[in-house]
Chain A
Amino acid sequence: MTNSTPSASTLSAEDISVWFGERQVLSNVNLVFPANQVTALIGPSGCGKSTFLRTLNRMHELIPGAGLAGSVLLDGVDIYAPEVSPVDVRINIGMVFQKPNPFPTMSIRENILSGLKLSGRKTANADELVETSLRRASIWNEVKDRLNDQALSLSGGQQQRLCIARSLAMDPKVLLMDEPCSALDPGSTRRIEETIEELSESMTVVIVTHNMQQAQRVSHQTAFFLADENTPGGVVEFGSTEQVFNTPVDPRTNDYVNGHFG
């Protein structure tokens, strides 16, 4: 692997609609995630934010009965084009899940290197990659003396930062995060937020969050998703974070960001 700074990419979703079986859950989502920007996806539970996030790195298609219309472009290339392999898409677009999911049979070090091994790539300097990745996820100091311990011996917050480090070791162009702090204490949350800020220097970040303050702290732009009862969800408002939170155009956005519903 080269040590050149990873290049961020622009990701854009065009007319994304999603079905589970016959039920449509998302309708005509158009969003652009510019390079080196952090975008927060907010909205009440069940409005399709996480589902939308999964369409961005082709994890959505793993769910039985999943359906999709529209296209997702990574630097102008459709990731759903027939000649594009989902494996390559996921190498370039990393993902951090809501629940920490380190591999239980591997050590901390092996977890960091697992992405390379699983995607069939090699690295010249494994030790350096492990250290850089753990440093970028600000967990290096806590684990540097116990790299060969089982990953499950870490606390929940540490496990989540380990999972972030595992994604970073892949050197992705885009990082998708699905409520990465929802199960964590304030200290771990703060550290992950600092990490996100640093990451935006080298990659594009899309984060789903239920925490309004977090969205305001970490993101440059915000998309507000909403689904009325029995209708597919969609984007109500999309703009710079400052605009969405301070001068929302849609009254529903105003109600939501000020905690009046949801």
Chain B
Amino acid sequence: MSQTLSRPKVQPWSQSSVASVRPLILASVLPAVFAALVGLLANLDFSVALLVIFVPLQALAAGFVGFKTYGKRGLKDAVLIFVTIFFSMMVMVLLTSVLVSVAVAGFSAMSPQFLSQNNVYVSPTTSLEYGGVGHAILGTLLIVILTTIAAVPLGIAMAVFLTQSNAKHKGIVRTVTQALSGLPSVVSGLFILAIMGFVGIERSGLTGALALFPLMLPTVARVAEESLRLVPSDLRLAALALGAPNYKAFFQVILPAAKSGIITALLLGLARIIGETAPLILTINANNSTNLNPFAEGIATLPTYIYGFLSSGYSTSQARAWGAALVLLLLVALLFGAARIMTRQKSLKTKSTKKAK
């Protein structure tokens, strides 16, 4: 009978001694200190000190320590690890600064009334205590939902055609889809505008949704296609061998297996359209009042609201624009968070039952 041991506190592969840690500390502190000193003495710009002095020096130091410990192979490892960490941190800083600057600039406009009220009787100089983006939040949701209702089922249907059928002309469909996913949004807006003039339809939320549709469809189709392609063909064969008709094999076996990928497709599609401004400026009447009917009259969205207030030079209107940008970011975060929770439920269930054993 074998004995049960307690798990060691330090794993054999992560043992460290003072002797092995000292050069590591030196190699990670010295370049920074040196770069800071040179930078201060020579009065260099921060970015110059960082990129011209610190980065090469730190790569060199990391490489030296790696070489001392593991030889040539250690040198390459250490340099690559440093480069990876440094540049991913740069990107993190960049993205975080975007979020932080929007949050800081938009914070002054934030208030319950800013989220709920509409923009009637608000001029560019009106105090921030009056008016808000309530109408634009509703407008954004209405237009995005309209587009999603049309684009997601059709996009998934295209993905199904591209992955499950044996049709001959799939190549053409795939090429066109890929070409369309690079469509400049303003072109899509102009296209719908031209059709509106030709057929004689008035601007409304619906025409805005129509202009967003060609942008969302290819994104959804491509991502959904990739996720359906990842479902092993074994599963489809297993379902068919159990006497399933094709449609049941798809809906009950293949689609559930690709669920998280399909939700990613939906999210990327949403991300593609929710911040679009140009096609909407061309196809909707961005108004100031609340309009719950997307099929008639003017309707505003957050991006058109931002565009409208940013282009007038007053500080209060700029604050409104930043506030609306923050609301848009939060809205996106909310939608993404909700979708992620929806996809995670299944795997959580597996984990909890495993633990219960």
Residues on A facing B (Cβ under 8 Å) = 57, 59, 62, 64, 87-88, 90-91, 94-95, 97, 99, 101, 103-105, 114-115, 117-120, 146, 148-150, 153, 163, 166-167, 170
Residues of A within 8 A of B243 (CB): 87-88, 90-91, 115, 118-119, 170
Residues of B within 8 A of A59 (CB): 237, 240-241
Given A103-B238, A105-B259, A150-B350, 4 further pairs, Cβ under 8 A:
A95-B241, A101-B237, A104-B235, A118-B253
Interface string of B230-251 (1 = CB under 8 A from A): 0010110111111111001100
- Is there an interface contact between A120 and B248, defined as CB atoms closer than 8 Å? yes
B267 adjacent to chain A (CB < 8 Å)? no
With beta carbons under 8 angstroms apart, the residue of B237, B259, B350 that contacts A149 is: B350
| 29 residue pairs A–B, Cβ–Cβ below 8 Å | A57-B241, A59-B237, A62-B240, A64-B166, A87-B243, A90-B240, A90-B243, A91-B243, A94-B242, A97-B234, A97-B237, A97-B241, A99-B234, A101-B237, A103-B235, A103-B239, A105-B253, A114-B239, A115-B243, A118-B239, A118-B243, A118-B244, A118-B248, A118-B252, A119-B243, A149-B353, A163-B238, A170-B242, A170-B243
Q: Which of A57, A59, A104 has the most CB of B within 10 A?
A: A104
- Is there an interface contact between B241 and A90, defined as CB atoms closer than 8 Å? yes
Q: Nearest 9 A-B pairs (CB), nearest first? A: A118-B244, A119-B243, A91-B243, A115-B242, A105-B256, A101-B234, A95-B241, A90-B243, A101-B238
Would you give the shortest CB distance from A153 to chain B, in whole angstroms?
A: 6
- Is there an interface contact between A103 and B253, defined as CB atoms closer than 8 Å? yes
B346 adjacent to chain A (CB < 8 Å)? yes
Residues of A within 8 A of B7 (CB): none
How many chain B residues touch the partner (CB < 8 A)? 26
Residues on B facing A (Cβ under 8 Å) = 166, 232, 234-235, 237-245, 248-249, 252-253, 256-257, 259, 346, 349-350, 353-354, 357
Name which residue of chain B comes closest to A103, CB basis. B253
In the assembly, what is the distance between CA of A91 and CA of B234, in Å? 18
Would you give the shortest CB distance from A34 to chain B, in whole angstroms?
A: 23
Would you give the shortest CB distance from A145 to chain B, in whole angstroms?
A: 8
Residues of A within 8 A of B234 (CB): 97, 99, 101
Q: Which of A57, A64, A87, A99 has the most CB of B within 10 A?
A: A87
Residues of B within 8 A of A90 (CB): 240-243
In the assembly, what is the distance between CA of A149 and CA of B354, in Å? 8
In the assembly, what is the distance between CA of A99 and CA of B233, in Å? 12
* With A59-B237, A97-B237, A118-B244: A148-B257 Cβ-Cβ less than 8 Å: no
Residues of B within 8 A of A104 (CB): 235, 257
Residues of B within 8 A of A115 (CB): 242-243
* With A101-B234, A103-B238, A118-B252: A87-B244 Cβ-Cβ less than 8 Å: yes
- Is there an interface contact between B249 and A118, defined as CB atoms closer than 8 Å? yes
Would you give the shortest CB distance from A112 to chain B, in whole angstroms?
A: 11
Would you give the shortest CB distance from B350 to chain A, in whole angstroms?
A: 5
In the assembly, what is the distance between CA of A170 and CA of B244, in Å? 12
Residues of A within 8 A of B235 (CB): 101, 103-104
Residues of A within 8 A of B259 (CB): 105
In the assembly, what is the distance between CA of A127 and CA of B346, in Å? 23
Residues of B within 8 A of A167 (CB): 241-242
Name which residue of chain B comes closest to A89, CB basis. B243
In the assembly, what is the distance between CA of A95 and CA of B241, in Å? 6
In the assembly, what is the distance between CA of A95 and CA of B244, in Å? 13
- Is there an interface contact between B245 and A87, defined as CB atoms closer than 8 Å? yes
Residues of A within 8 A of B357 (CB): 146
Residues of A within 8 A of B256 (CB): 105
- Is there an interface contact between B354 and A114, defined as CB atoms closer than 8 Å? no
Would you give the shortest CB distance from B229 to chain A, in whole angstroms?
A: 16
- Is there an interface contact between B241 and A153, defined as CB atoms closer than 8 Å? no
Residues of B within 8 A of A117 (CB): 248, 252
In the assembly, what is the distance between CA of A170 and CA of B240, in Å? 13
In the assembly, what is the distance between CA of A116 and CA of B346, in Å? 23
With beta carbons under 8 angstroms apart, the residue of A64, A94, A99, A150 that contacts B241 is: A94
Would you give the shortest CB distance from A78 to chain B, in whole angstroms?
A: 18
Q: Which of A95, A105, A118, A153 has the most CB of B within 10 A?
A: A118
Would you give the shortest CB distance from B233 to chain A, in whole angstroms?
A: 9
In the assembly, what is the distance between CA of A150 and CA of B243, in Å? 22
In the assembly, what is the distance between CA of A93 and CA of B63, in Å? 64
Residues of B within 8 A of A105 (CB): 253, 256-257, 259, 346
